[in-house]
Amino acid sequence: MGVRTMYRRLKALQLENSVTMRALHILPTYSAYKKTYTLLRQSRQWSREELAAYQAQALSRLLDHAYENVPYYRRVFEERGLVPGDIQTPEDLALLPFLTREDLQKSLPDLKARNYPETAFEYVTTGGSTGIPVGFYYEKGASRAREWAFMKTQWDRVGYRFSDRCVVLRGYIVGSARDETFWKKTLFGRWLLMSSHHMTEETLPAYIDRIRTFRPGFIQAYPSMAVILARYMVEHGVEPFPTVKAVLCGSENLYPWQRSLLAEAFGCRVFSWYGNSEQTVLAGECEESTHYHIFPEYGIVELIGRDGRPVERPGAMGEVVATNLTNFVCPLIRYRTMDLAVLGKSPCTCGRNYPLLERVEGRLQEFIVTKDRRFISMTAVNMHSDVFDNVVQFQFYQKKEGEVLMRIVKKPGYTDRDTERILRELDRKFQGDVDVTIRSVGKIPRTRRGKYQFLIQDLPLDQQEPGQHEAECRNKSG
Protein backbone atom coordinates (compact mmCIF):
# COMPACT_ATOMS: atom_id res chain seq x y z
CA MET A 1 0.00 0.00 0.00
CA GLY A 2 1.41 3.42 -0.97
CA VAL A 3 1.82 6.15 1.64
CA ARG A 4 -0.83 8.31 -0.08
CA THR A 5 -3.41 5.52 -0.02
CA MET A 6 -2.52 4.78 3.60
CA TYR A 7 -3.00 8.41 4.52
CA ARG A 8 -6.41 8.63 2.85
CA ARG A 9 -7.60 5.53 4.64
CA LEU A 10 -6.40 6.80 7.99
CA LYS A 11 -8.14 10.10 7.31
CA ALA A 12 -11.40 8.31 6.56
CA LEU A 13 -11.00 6.22 9.70
CA GLN A 14 -10.52 9.35 11.78
CA LEU A 15 -13.89 10.62 10.67
CA GLU A 16 -15.40 7.24 11.47
CA ASN A 17 -13.80 6.81 14.89
CA SER A 18 -11.96 9.89 16.10
CA VAL A 19 -11.68 8.71 19.72
CA THR A 20 -9.81 5.55 18.77
CA MET A 21 -7.51 7.40 16.42
CA ARG A 22 -6.59 9.97 19.06
CA ALA A 23 -5.78 7.16 21.46
CA LEU A 24 -3.56 5.34 18.95
CA HIS A 25 -1.84 8.53 17.69
CA ILE A 26 -1.49 7.16 14.17
CA LEU A 27 -2.98 9.86 11.96
CA PRO A 28 0.01 11.50 10.30
CA THR A 29 0.17 14.64 8.23
CA TYR A 30 0.82 13.17 4.80
CA SER A 31 3.62 15.46 3.69
CA ALA A 32 5.59 15.16 6.95
CA TYR A 33 5.18 11.39 6.94
CA LYS A 34 6.15 10.96 3.29
CA LYS A 35 9.19 13.23 3.52
CA THR A 36 10.55 11.41 6.57
CA TYR A 37 9.80 7.90 5.32
CA THR A 38 11.40 8.64 1.95
CA LEU A 39 14.53 9.98 3.67
CA LEU A 40 14.82 6.87 5.84
CA ARG A 41 14.48 4.54 2.87
CA GLN A 42 17.48 6.31 1.34
CA SER A 43 19.65 6.97 4.37
CA ARG A 44 19.67 3.35 5.56
CA GLN A 45 22.16 2.72 2.74
CA TRP A 46 24.39 5.72 3.46
CA SER A 47 28.00 5.39 4.51
CA ARG A 48 29.16 6.48 7.94
CA GLU A 49 30.59 9.63 6.38
CA GLU A 50 27.29 10.49 4.66
CA LEU A 51 25.35 9.99 7.89
CA ALA A 52 27.83 12.17 9.78
CA ALA A 53 27.53 14.92 7.18
CA TYR A 54 23.72 14.81 7.35
CA GLN A 55 23.77 14.93 11.14
CA ALA A 56 26.22 17.86 11.25
CA GLN A 57 24.06 19.84 8.82
CA ALA A 58 20.88 19.08 10.77
CA LEU A 59 22.58 20.08 14.03
CA SER A 60 23.76 23.36 12.51
CA ARG A 61 20.19 24.22 11.43
CA LEU A 62 18.85 23.35 14.88
CA LEU A 63 21.42 25.45 16.76
CA ASP A 64 20.99 28.48 14.48
CA HIS A 65 17.24 28.26 15.01
CA ALA A 66 17.51 27.82 18.78
CA TYR A 67 19.86 30.76 19.11
CA GLU A 68 17.64 33.09 17.06
CA ASN A 69 14.18 31.99 18.23
CA VAL A 70 14.30 30.17 21.58
CA PRO A 71 14.89 32.45 24.61
CA TYR A 72 16.22 29.64 26.81
CA TYR A 73 19.00 28.77 24.37
CA ARG A 74 19.85 32.37 23.52
CA ARG A 75 20.48 32.83 27.24
CA VAL A 76 22.56 29.62 27.45
CA PHE A 77 24.76 30.66 24.53
CA GLU A 78 25.29 34.19 25.85
CA GLU A 79 26.10 33.02 29.38
CA ARG A 80 28.88 30.88 27.94
CA GLY A 81 30.12 33.41 25.40
CA LEU A 82 29.21 31.10 22.52
CA VAL A 83 27.53 31.39 19.14
CA PRO A 84 26.14 28.47 17.11
CA GLY A 85 29.20 28.52 14.82
CA ASP A 86 31.33 27.40 17.77
CA ILE A 87 29.62 24.00 17.60
CA GLN A 88 30.63 22.32 14.36
CA THR A 89 30.26 18.64 15.25
CA PRO A 90 28.22 16.53 17.69
CA GLU A 91 31.34 16.28 19.87
CA ASP A 92 31.27 20.08 20.29
CA LEU A 93 27.89 19.80 22.03
CA ALA A 94 29.91 19.29 25.22
CA LEU A 95 30.29 23.10 25.24
CA LEU A 96 26.60 23.31 26.18
CA PRO A 97 25.07 22.28 29.52
CA PHE A 98 22.74 19.35 30.06
CA LEU A 99 19.00 19.95 29.94
CA THR A 100 17.31 18.23 32.90
CA ARG A 101 13.71 17.45 33.72
CA GLU A 102 13.86 20.15 36.35
CA ASP A 103 14.92 22.61 33.65
CA LEU A 104 11.88 21.60 31.61
CA GLN A 105 9.57 22.12 34.56
CA LYS A 106 11.06 25.50 35.35
CA SER A 107 11.78 26.94 31.90
CA LEU A 108 9.22 25.45 29.52
CA PRO A 109 7.76 28.83 28.41
CA ASP A 110 11.26 29.96 27.35
CA LEU A 111 11.83 26.72 25.41
CA LYS A 112 9.02 27.54 22.97
CA ALA A 113 10.23 28.88 19.64
CA ARG A 114 9.00 32.43 19.08
CA ASN A 115 8.77 32.10 15.28
CA TYR A 116 5.92 29.56 15.40
CA PRO A 117 2.24 30.47 15.87
CA GLU A 118 0.53 29.23 19.02
CA THR A 119 -1.53 26.84 16.90
CA ALA A 120 1.66 24.91 16.06
CA PHE A 121 2.19 23.74 19.66
CA GLU A 122 0.79 20.47 20.97
CA TYR A 123 1.29 20.13 24.74
CA VAL A 124 2.44 16.64 25.84
CA THR A 125 3.35 15.19 29.22
CA THR A 126 5.44 12.20 30.28
CA GLY A 127 4.04 9.35 32.33
CA GLY A 128 6.05 10.44 35.37
CA SER A 129 7.78 7.06 35.78
CA THR A 130 11.01 8.84 36.74
CA GLY A 131 9.28 10.62 39.60
CA ILE A 132 9.64 13.94 37.74
CA PRO A 133 6.64 14.33 35.40
CA VAL A 134 7.25 17.04 32.81
CA GLY A 135 5.48 18.74 29.97
CA PHE A 136 6.88 19.79 26.60
CA TYR A 137 5.64 20.50 23.07
CA TYR A 138 5.33 18.61 19.81
CA GLU A 139 4.83 20.36 16.51
CA LYS A 140 1.13 19.81 15.89
CA GLY A 141 0.47 17.68 12.84
CA ALA A 142 4.16 17.00 12.21
CA SER A 143 5.93 15.45 15.22
CA ARG A 144 3.64 12.43 15.40
CA ALA A 145 3.78 12.03 11.61
CA ARG A 146 7.56 11.87 11.65
CA GLU A 147 7.48 9.47 14.58
CA TRP A 148 5.17 7.13 12.71
CA ALA A 149 7.54 7.17 9.71
CA PHE A 150 10.44 6.14 11.95
CA MET A 151 8.38 3.43 13.64
CA LYS A 152 7.20 2.05 10.31
CA THR A 153 10.82 1.99 9.13
CA GLN A 154 11.78 -0.07 12.19
CA TRP A 155 8.92 -2.52 11.76
CA ASP A 156 9.82 -2.93 8.08
CA ARG A 157 12.88 -4.82 9.32
CA VAL A 158 10.75 -7.72 10.58
CA GLY A 159 8.38 -7.69 7.63
CA TYR A 160 5.52 -5.53 8.93
CA ARG A 161 3.23 -4.08 6.24
CA PHE A 162 0.21 -1.80 6.56
CA SER A 163 -2.00 -4.60 5.30
CA ASP A 164 -0.96 -6.98 8.10
CA ARG A 165 -3.26 -7.83 10.98
CA CYS A 166 -1.94 -6.81 14.36
CA VAL A 167 -3.03 -7.47 17.96
CA VAL A 168 -2.38 -4.46 20.22
CA LEU A 169 -1.75 -4.89 23.98
CA ARG A 170 -0.60 -1.48 25.14
CA GLY A 171 -2.49 -0.34 28.23
CA TYR A 172 -5.85 0.45 26.66
CA ILE A 173 -9.17 -0.12 28.41
CA VAL A 174 -11.63 -1.77 26.05
CA GLY A 175 -15.06 -3.16 26.87
CA SER A 176 -16.16 -4.16 30.36
CA ALA A 177 -16.66 -7.16 32.60
CA ARG A 178 -20.40 -6.68 32.19
CA ASP A 179 -20.52 -7.65 28.52
CA GLU A 180 -17.36 -9.85 28.67
CA THR A 181 -15.98 -8.31 25.48
CA PHE A 182 -12.51 -6.90 26.00
CA TRP A 183 -11.42 -6.01 22.49
CA LYS A 184 -12.46 -4.18 19.37
CA LYS A 185 -11.25 -3.89 15.81
CA THR A 186 -9.83 -0.67 14.42
CA LEU A 187 -7.82 0.49 11.38
CA PHE A 188 -10.31 -1.04 8.96
CA GLY A 189 -10.38 -4.29 10.88
CA ARG A 190 -6.63 -4.83 10.67
CA TRP A 191 -5.81 -4.05 14.30
CA LEU A 192 -7.42 -5.86 17.21
CA LEU A 193 -7.19 -3.50 20.18
CA MET A 194 -7.33 -5.65 23.34
CA SER A 195 -7.90 -4.41 26.88
CA SER A 196 -4.91 -4.87 29.15
CA HIS A 197 -7.02 -4.06 32.21
CA HIS A 198 -9.12 -7.22 32.07
CA MET A 199 -6.40 -9.85 31.63
CA THR A 200 -7.02 -12.41 34.40
CA GLU A 201 -6.78 -16.18 34.79
CA GLU A 202 -10.52 -16.32 34.09
CA THR A 203 -10.53 -14.16 30.94
CA LEU A 204 -7.22 -15.15 29.29
CA PRO A 205 -8.69 -18.26 27.58
CA ALA A 206 -11.13 -15.95 25.77
CA TYR A 207 -8.25 -13.63 24.79
CA ILE A 208 -6.33 -16.58 23.37
CA ASP A 209 -9.33 -17.87 21.41
CA ARG A 210 -9.99 -14.41 19.96
CA ILE A 211 -6.35 -13.94 18.92
CA ARG A 212 -6.28 -17.36 17.29
CA THR A 213 -9.49 -16.57 15.38
CA PHE A 214 -8.19 -13.14 14.35
CA ARG A 215 -5.01 -14.69 12.88
CA PRO A 216 -2.65 -11.73 13.41
CA GLY A 217 0.71 -11.40 11.71
CA PHE A 218 2.11 -9.36 14.61
CA ILE A 219 1.52 -8.61 18.29
CA GLN A 220 2.33 -5.06 19.36
CA ALA A 221 2.67 -4.81 23.15
CA TYR A 222 4.11 -3.40 26.30
CA PRO A 223 6.46 -6.19 27.46
CA SER A 224 4.68 -6.41 30.81
CA MET A 225 1.34 -6.96 29.06
CA ALA A 226 2.68 -9.59 26.66
CA VAL A 227 4.29 -11.42 29.58
CA ILE A 228 0.90 -11.92 31.28
CA LEU A 229 -0.39 -13.67 28.18
CA ALA A 230 2.85 -15.57 27.58
CA ARG A 231 3.11 -16.96 31.11
CA TYR A 232 -0.44 -18.26 30.94
CA MET A 233 0.25 -19.93 27.60
CA VAL A 234 3.45 -21.62 28.81
CA GLU A 235 1.94 -22.76 32.11
CA HIS A 236 -1.16 -24.21 30.43
CA GLY A 237 0.61 -25.75 27.44
CA VAL A 238 -1.07 -23.45 24.91
CA GLU A 239 0.44 -23.73 21.43
CA PRO A 240 1.88 -20.58 19.78
CA PHE A 241 -0.25 -18.66 17.31
CA PRO A 242 0.86 -20.01 13.92
CA THR A 243 0.35 -16.75 12.01
CA VAL A 244 2.39 -14.46 14.30
CA LYS A 245 5.71 -13.47 12.72
CA ALA A 246 7.03 -11.22 15.49
CA VAL A 247 6.16 -9.58 18.80
CA LEU A 248 6.80 -5.82 18.64
CA CYS A 249 7.78 -4.62 22.12
CA GLY A 250 8.25 -0.99 23.12
CA SER A 251 7.56 1.80 25.65
CA GLU A 252 9.04 -0.30 28.47
CA ASN A 253 12.44 -1.83 29.00
CA LEU A 254 12.51 -5.40 27.66
CA TYR A 255 14.36 -7.56 30.19
CA PRO A 256 16.21 -10.72 29.09
CA TRP A 257 13.87 -12.97 31.08
CA GLN A 258 10.89 -11.38 29.33
CA ARG A 259 12.42 -11.85 25.88
CA SER A 260 13.10 -15.50 26.65
CA LEU A 261 9.56 -16.10 27.92
CA LEU A 262 7.91 -14.34 24.97
CA ALA A 263 9.99 -16.24 22.44
CA GLU A 264 9.09 -19.52 24.15
CA ALA A 265 5.37 -18.78 24.30
CA PHE A 266 4.88 -17.24 20.85
CA GLY A 267 7.52 -19.20 18.96
CA CYS A 268 8.69 -16.20 16.94
CA ARG A 269 11.07 -13.26 16.88
CA VAL A 270 10.73 -10.71 19.70
CA PHE A 271 11.59 -7.25 18.34
CA SER A 272 12.23 -4.32 20.66
CA TRP A 273 12.86 -0.62 20.28
CA TYR A 274 13.89 2.15 22.65
CA GLY A 275 12.61 5.71 22.72
CA ASN A 276 10.96 8.28 24.95
CA SER A 277 7.93 10.54 24.95
CA GLU A 278 10.17 13.57 24.60
CA GLN A 279 11.23 12.22 21.18
CA THR A 280 14.93 12.84 21.78
CA VAL A 281 16.19 9.33 21.00
CA LEU A 282 14.95 6.37 18.97
CA ALA A 283 16.71 3.06 18.44
CA GLY A 284 15.58 -0.39 17.41
CA GLU A 285 16.78 -3.88 16.68
CA CYS A 286 17.39 -5.16 13.16
CA GLU A 287 16.90 -8.38 11.22
CA GLU A 288 20.18 -9.87 12.44
CA SER A 289 20.85 -8.44 15.90
CA THR A 290 19.23 -7.61 19.21
CA HIS A 291 21.47 -4.55 19.54
CA TYR A 292 19.64 -1.22 19.33
CA HIS A 293 20.43 0.72 16.15
CA ILE A 294 20.28 4.46 16.91
CA PHE A 295 18.64 6.55 14.19
CA PRO A 296 21.16 9.34 13.46
CA GLU A 297 18.46 11.13 11.42
CA TYR A 298 16.30 11.34 14.56
CA GLY A 299 18.76 12.76 17.03
CA ILE A 300 22.27 12.85 18.45
CA VAL A 301 22.90 10.41 21.29
CA GLU A 302 25.71 10.74 23.81
CA LEU A 303 26.54 8.18 26.49
CA ILE A 304 27.94 9.99 29.52
CA GLY A 305 30.12 8.04 31.94
CA ARG A 306 30.80 8.42 35.64
CA ASP A 307 33.46 11.06 34.95
CA GLY A 308 31.01 13.22 32.99
CA ARG A 309 32.86 12.45 29.77
CA PRO A 310 31.64 10.52 26.72
CA VAL A 311 31.66 6.73 26.92
CA GLU A 312 33.76 5.47 24.00
CA ARG A 313 34.59 1.86 24.90
CA PRO A 314 32.13 -0.80 23.65
CA GLY A 315 30.61 -2.62 26.60
CA ALA A 316 30.82 0.41 28.89
CA MET A 317 27.70 1.88 30.47
CA GLY A 318 26.56 5.48 30.63
CA GLU A 319 23.54 7.70 30.82
CA VAL A 320 21.77 8.51 27.56
CA VAL A 321 21.94 12.23 26.79
CA ALA A 322 20.10 13.09 23.59
CA THR A 323 19.45 15.99 21.20
CA ASN A 324 16.39 15.85 18.95
CA LEU A 325 17.06 17.06 15.38
CA THR A 326 13.47 17.42 14.15
CA ASN A 327 11.41 19.29 16.77
CA PHE A 328 11.98 23.00 16.19
CA VAL A 329 8.95 24.25 18.15
CA CYS A 330 10.50 23.08 21.44
CA PRO A 331 14.15 22.07 20.99
CA LEU A 332 15.60 19.70 23.57
CA ILE A 333 19.39 19.88 23.36
CA ARG A 334 21.60 17.58 25.49
CA TYR A 335 18.56 16.27 27.32
CA ARG A 336 19.30 13.98 30.28
CA THR A 337 16.97 11.03 29.80
CA MET A 338 17.98 9.31 33.07
CA ASP A 339 18.15 6.10 31.01
CA LEU A 340 21.20 3.86 31.22
CA ALA A 341 22.59 1.99 28.24
CA VAL A 342 25.65 0.01 27.19
CA LEU A 343 27.63 1.09 24.15
CA GLY A 344 27.68 -1.43 21.31
CA LYS A 345 30.38 -2.20 18.78
CA SER A 346 29.62 -0.82 15.30
CA PRO A 347 28.89 -1.62 12.58
CA CYS A 348 26.24 -4.34 12.60
CA THR A 349 26.32 -7.20 10.12
CA CYS A 350 22.99 -5.93 8.73
CA GLY A 351 24.98 -3.30 6.80
CA ARG A 352 23.49 -0.16 8.38
CA ASN A 353 26.13 2.29 9.53
CA TYR A 354 24.19 3.33 12.63
CA PRO A 355 25.73 3.66 16.10
CA LEU A 356 24.69 0.79 18.36
CA LEU A 357 23.60 0.25 21.94
CA GLU A 358 24.42 -3.25 23.14
CA ARG A 359 21.49 -3.06 25.54
CA VAL A 360 19.33 -0.60 27.44
CA GLU A 361 19.39 -1.12 31.18
CA GLY A 362 16.44 1.13 31.92
CA ARG A 363 15.97 4.23 33.97
CA LEU A 364 17.61 5.18 37.24
CA GLN A 365 14.30 4.36 38.92
CA GLU A 366 14.73 0.76 37.75
CA PHE A 367 17.75 0.16 39.97
CA ILE A 368 17.80 -1.15 43.53
CA VAL A 369 20.31 0.47 45.90
CA THR A 370 22.33 -1.86 48.14
CA LYS A 371 23.50 -1.29 51.69
CA ASP A 372 26.79 0.14 50.45
CA ARG A 373 25.09 2.31 47.79
CA ARG A 374 25.82 0.09 44.81
CA PHE A 375 23.18 -0.17 42.11
CA ILE A 376 21.53 -3.38 40.88
CA SER A 377 19.56 -3.30 37.64
CA MET A 378 16.16 -4.94 37.48
CA THR A 379 17.70 -6.91 34.61
CA ALA A 380 19.33 -9.05 37.29
CA VAL A 381 15.95 -10.14 38.68
CA ASN A 382 14.94 -13.05 36.46
CA MET A 383 11.23 -13.80 36.79
CA HIS A 384 11.52 -16.57 34.17
CA SER A 385 12.54 -19.01 36.91
CA ASP A 386 10.70 -21.89 38.56
CA VAL A 387 10.96 -20.24 42.00
CA PHE A 388 8.28 -17.80 40.77
CA ASP A 389 5.93 -20.49 39.42
CA ASN A 390 3.29 -19.73 42.04
CA VAL A 391 3.47 -15.94 41.64
CA VAL A 392 1.05 -14.14 39.33
CA GLN A 393 2.76 -10.75 39.52
CA PHE A 394 5.37 -8.96 41.60
CA GLN A 395 6.61 -5.47 42.37
CA PHE A 396 9.52 -4.18 44.42
CA TYR A 397 9.29 -1.06 46.55
CA GLN A 398 12.31 0.70 48.04
CA LYS A 399 12.49 3.69 50.32
CA LYS A 400 15.65 2.82 52.27
CA GLU A 401 19.08 1.80 50.99
CA GLY A 402 19.69 -1.94 51.28
CA GLU A 403 16.05 -2.80 51.98
CA VAL A 404 13.18 -3.63 49.61
CA LEU A 405 9.61 -4.75 49.99
CA MET A 406 8.48 -7.29 47.42
CA ARG A 407 4.74 -7.27 46.82
CA ILE A 408 3.44 -10.45 45.23
CA VAL A 409 0.10 -11.69 43.95
CA LYS A 410 -0.08 -15.37 44.88
CA LYS A 411 -1.46 -18.24 42.86
CA PRO A 412 -3.78 -20.66 44.71
CA GLY A 413 -0.96 -23.19 45.19
CA TYR A 414 1.44 -20.73 46.86
CA THR A 415 2.94 -21.92 50.19
CA ASP A 416 5.56 -20.83 52.72
CA ARG A 417 8.04 -22.97 50.80
CA ASP A 418 7.64 -20.63 47.83
CA THR A 419 8.49 -17.67 50.06
CA GLU A 420 11.65 -19.40 51.27
CA ARG A 421 12.75 -20.29 47.74
CA ILE A 422 12.16 -16.74 46.45
CA LEU A 423 14.09 -15.19 49.33
CA ARG A 424 17.03 -17.55 48.75
CA GLU A 425 17.04 -16.76 45.04
CA LEU A 426 16.93 -13.01 45.60
CA ASP A 427 19.64 -13.20 48.26
CA ARG A 428 21.84 -14.96 45.70
CA LYS A 429 21.12 -12.37 43.00
CA PHE A 430 21.64 -9.44 45.40
CA GLN A 431 24.73 -11.13 46.91
CA GLY A 432 23.43 -10.54 50.42
CA ASP A 433 23.51 -6.75 50.03
CA VAL A 434 19.73 -6.21 50.09
CA ASP A 435 17.26 -7.31 52.75
CA VAL A 436 13.99 -8.44 51.17
CA THR A 437 10.57 -8.60 52.82
CA ILE A 438 7.73 -10.34 50.98
CA ARG A 439 4.15 -9.16 51.35
CA SER A 440 1.09 -10.72 49.72
CA VAL A 441 -1.35 -8.32 48.01
CA GLY A 442 -4.57 -8.76 46.08
CA LYS A 443 -3.34 -6.93 42.98
CA ILE A 444 -0.53 -4.76 41.66
CA PRO A 445 -1.75 -1.32 40.53
CA ARG A 446 -0.83 0.00 37.11
CA THR A 447 0.36 3.41 36.08
CA ARG A 448 -2.16 5.79 34.57
CA ARG A 449 -0.93 4.64 31.15
CA GLY A 450 -1.71 1.02 31.89
CA LYS A 451 1.84 -0.20 32.52
CA TYR A 452 3.19 -2.35 35.33
CA GLN A 453 6.21 -1.02 37.19
CA PHE A 454 8.49 -3.76 38.49
CA LEU A 455 10.10 -1.32 40.92
CA ILE A 456 8.74 1.69 42.77
CA GLN A 457 11.91 3.55 43.71
CA ASP A 458 11.44 6.25 46.36
CA LEU A 459 15.11 7.10 46.77
CA PRO A 460 16.26 10.36 45.09
CA LEU A 461 18.43 8.69 42.44
CA ASP A 462 17.83 11.53 39.99
CA GLN A 463 20.12 13.78 42.06
CA GLN A 464 23.20 11.89 40.87
CA GLU A 465 25.58 13.23 38.27
CA PRO A 466 25.49 11.49 34.87
CA GLY A 467 27.32 8.17 34.89
CA GLN A 468 27.88 8.08 38.67
CA HIS A 469 26.29 4.65 38.76
CA GLU A 470 28.35 2.98 36.00
CA ALA A 471 30.70 0.81 38.04
CA GLU A 472 28.00 -0.20 40.49
CA CYS A 473 25.72 -1.39 37.69
CA ARG A 474 28.49 -3.34 36.00
CA ASN A 475 29.58 -5.01 39.24
CA LYS A 476 26.12 -6.25 40.05
CA SER A 477 24.20 -6.82 36.85
CA GLY A 478 26.85 -7.52 34.25
Q: What is the pLDDT of residue 10?
A: 47
Angle at 265 between CA 260 and CA 266, to 5 degrees: 100
Q: How confident is the model at residue 213 (pLDDT cuts 50, 70, 90)?
A: very high
Per domain, the residue ranges of the chain are: 365-477
Cα(339)–Cα(276) distance, integer angstroms:
10
Confirm or reject CATH 3.40.50.720 for domain 365-477, answering yes or no.
Answer: no
Q: What is the pLDDT of residue 3?
A: 53
Q: How confident is the model at residue 469 (pLDDT cuts 50, 70, 90)?
A: very low
CA atoms within 13 A on the CB side of 298: 31
Least confident of 19-28, 38-47, 265-274, 411-420: 19-28
Least confident of 5-14, 288-297, 309-318: 5-14
Tell me: the pLDDT tens digits for 319-346? 999 999 999 999 999 999 989 999 999 8
Q: What is the pLDDT of residue 6?
A: 53
> Does residue 452 or residue 225 have the better pLDDT?
225
Cα(389)–Cα(382) distance, integer angstroms:
12
Q: How confident is the model at residue 386 (pLDDT cuts 50, 70, 90)?
A: confident
The pTM score is 0.80
Q: What is the pLDDT of residue 8?
A: 54
Helix (H, G, I), strand (E, B) or coil at 90: helix
Cα(171)–Cα(222) distance, integer angstroms:
8
Tell me: the pLDDT tens digits for 141-167? 899 999 999 999 999 999 999 899 999
Q: How confident is the model at residue 22 (pLDDT cuts 50, 70, 90)?
A: very low
Length of the chain, please?
478
- In sequence order, the 6+-apart residues with CB closer than 8 A to the CB of 432 are none
Q: What is the pLDDT of residue 124?
A: 92
Q: What is the pLDDT of residue 9?
A: 53
Q: What is the pLDDT of residue 100?
A: 93
Is the per-residue pLDDT at 1 higher than 60? no
Tell me: the pLDDT tens digits for 267-311? 999 999 999 999 999 999 999 999 999 999 999 999 998 788 899
Burial of 17 (0-12, 13-18, 19+ CB in 10 A): middle
Q: What is the mean pLDDT of residues 361-369?
A: 78
Q: How confident is the model at residue 468 (pLDDT cuts 50, 70, 90)?
A: very low
